[in-house]
Structure 1
């Protein structure tokens, strides 16, 4: 490994800030109905699946510890993985960033004279914009995951890590299939009819494709084994039928030992699809004559990951196993959906990963608003199967953003913090300020919430409400009930 520390250049940036995009999403009542129904269903199923596992917290601790080991030994584990993949007939490529990864994959496909590939659902290939890059070079990438196919045929973008088309209902899906899927005909919106139409379409693709592109949930350093975990069987078709298999894997997906999969294959399905075990877990180790692909290429993707590894606080985000549990419990995601985040990775973990992998530019950079796209309620930490302290990392990123913006005239936040520090540094000033805040009750609506304040308070109420101040402060209550002073 010679490129540790090289920054990522993946195309993760959105077109507008989170607050602006969230306001648009909140006005879409159909979107909110779709999201509310879907996330409530997933949450309930996940809680039931977790309740069936008596040692769930011990599994979470084990998963977190294993991921911590990976982060502390990453260079040597990746070199071990490379040796074992190569020894078993595979070819390993190292990609510094999105551009290099795209060029590697495109070159492999063009060398084999193909103009179409089938794809397993992969966040890593979405992160680098592989489909769009292939299209510019005359190569069609056919998504075979049902939800990814819906998004692709609808010329849409994913809005969820696990369920990319969560923002669509079945009537909308029927319209997409009828319009854009060859051979779908007058398909109805019955789930079985939609699934059968997709199956017939994809079966033709599976049987004619010579090349498949996949991601990887895990790469085992000890054996050189790669694993893809999915629920529909499309991944199994992709990693077994085509002659050539190309896998793009983020560096952090390596695990030390084959036995480590025992932990993650319990954590992942319960946290993602709310199942005790996954329907399809495909593993392959190099190539085997007469069995599966004749060629295997592994592209190990950095794209900013080693830079994140150097952040003592933020590096824990690299533990993420892409289960999406944090999205399904996040009240912000449930109301705005994934598109509001303007990045490949939505939700609480996306609010961390996107700024981490591509950095935060000036005040106009959409990534700058993502660390603030959370209530910090802690539900995401409670749900995370590898115990990533998402709220703490978000606060850390907010502090970094504030530090990088300290130039020129002070902004509204700086003035507000200075005013708060001045008031809190004196007991009498603090008591006076507490009494004065009570006047804010006049700004509250019938729901006892304040939704609009003048500048600089408007910077807060533009995206969040405030509860009305209480009629009596704690100091006033203490003075009234205990005979003390209200100072």
Structure 2
């Protein structure tokens, strides 16, 4: 049975209604970014349903009550010692330190949940229109447990994951693991088509929920290329901004360059003002994207829309206006740059750190700004040119 969900709230309502219909008390989940987008776990728990994440990274984050920081490796921000401490606290077992021992402990904990769950909820990397088949690509095998052991299987995904034929899927399956983890193919690729035949093991009820939540608004607009995104995570793996600030700094489900576009598009440009600016425009994300989404170009268009709608703070308009005026006068620009560098260097003092910067409080409120060292780029370039 296929359900259409206009909004995230519709997804939560449909799943909770299905849980009530089938008397579900426990749900096991495989990793699903769309369910994160909908805050589905909170909705199910509010309805009295126990939810257990079964992807190892997501399971760790559920114990820690934290959101993912990466769409492929959700717990990449945590170290092994931190995870060992968490398991000791939550599992009430002797502390283990080896990665294999920690993995075994998690597997033993999850095994009983797989066997006692009433409903399995999965995402879908792709859905094939001609057959109604859902595909799940995993390396841990939990996806197969979630989709085969419980008596009810619910697959939730965005409408952009629907592809016409199985032949189209084979092309995408060559791209996804290579770009996501560098593998030729992942350990498990699960094809699910309908309920289990009578007398066979498997779910007796199968529901697919297709989520819109702003996706149809992209059709025909500047952001339409984002509908090609296969959620491989390659863009964030090569992004210097993501590498510096981590996934949680992006404030919503999707981090990295893809999140800098998807989040403003889905939640509103005025609600994610900083994300289109979270880029150095180095174009590494555009180069590595397997489906050739022009990510820097899309971020630039979002920046343009912000200025057209007057969403940026007035001080930015003033600052850019003054900078543009000075930049059209090279001699004056060089003079002001030299003076600015020397003032900032003086403000840094012996520590070479600026603790408070006028008109730059957004930076220094949470961190110190390194004072510039030496001369301006123009001065260094001129000296190098003279030497050569």
TM-score, normalisation: structure 2: 0.88
Determine if the alignment matches structure 1 residue 224 to structure 2 residue 132. Answer: yes
Change (3 A) 1:412 1:477: farther
Change (3 A) 1:474 1:142: closer
Q: 1:414 matched to which residue of 2?
A: 317
Q: Is the 8 A contact 2:126 2:162 kept in 1?
A: yes
Alpha-carbon distance in structure 2 between the residues aligned to 1:471 and 1:270: 42
Determine if the alignment matches structure 1 residue 241 to structure 2 residue 144. Answer: no
Q: 2:234 matched to which residue of 1?
A: 325
Deviation per residue, 1:135-180 (Å, 9 max, x gap): 1111111100000000001122211111111111111111211222
Deviation per residue, 1:75-128 (Å, 9 max, x gap): xxxxxxxxxxxxxxxx01110101111000110011111111110110000000
Tell me the secondary structure at the aligned position of residue 61 of structure 2.
Answer: helix
Q: State the shift of 1:275 in Å.
A: 1.1
Alpha-carbon distance in structure 1 between the residues aligned to 2:380 and 2:362: 25
Q: Is the 8 A contact 1:187 1:197 kept in 2?
A: no
Q: 1:438 matched to which residue of 2?
A: 338
Determine if the alignment matches structure 1 residue 381 to structure 2 residue 289. Answer: no
Deviation per residue, 1:432-475 (Å, 9 max, x gap): 3233322233134799x997895546668889877852353989
Q: Is the 8 A contact 1:308 1:357 kept in 2?
A: no
Q: Is the 8 A contact 2:25 2:117 kept in 1?
A: no
Determine if the alignment matches structure 1 residue 287 to structure 2 residue 192. Answer: no
Q: Is the 8 A contact 2:25 2:118 kept in 1?
A: no
Q: Which residues in structure 2 correspond to 1:5-154 (within 5 Å)?
A: 91-154=1-64
Change (3 A) 1:261 1:320: same
Alpha-carbon distance in structure 1 between the residues aligned to 2:220 and 2:41: 30
Change (3 A) 1:451 1:376: farther
Tell me the secondary structure at the aligned position of residue 274 of structure 2.
Answer: helix
Cα-Cα RMSD: 2.8
Q: State the shift of 1:315 in Å.
A: 1.9
Deviation per residue, 1:262-299 (Å, 9 max, x gap): 22112111121221111000011122412522111010
Q: 1:166 matched to which residue of 2?
A: 76
Structure 1 unaligned residues grouped into runs of 5+: 1-90, 482-487
Determine if the alignment matches structure 1 residue 302 to structure 2 residue 209. Answer: no
Greater relative contact order (Cα 8 A, min sep 6): structure 1 or 2? 1
Alpha-carbon distance in structure 2 between the residues aligned to 1:477 and 1:204: 68
Q: 1:40 matched to which residue of 2?
A: none
Aligned residues: 377
Change (3 A) 1:415 1:475: farther
Q: State the shift of 1:322 in Å.
A: 1.2
Tell me the secondary structure at the aligned position of residue 118 of structure 1.
Answer: strand
Q: State the shift of 1:351 in Å.
A: 1.5
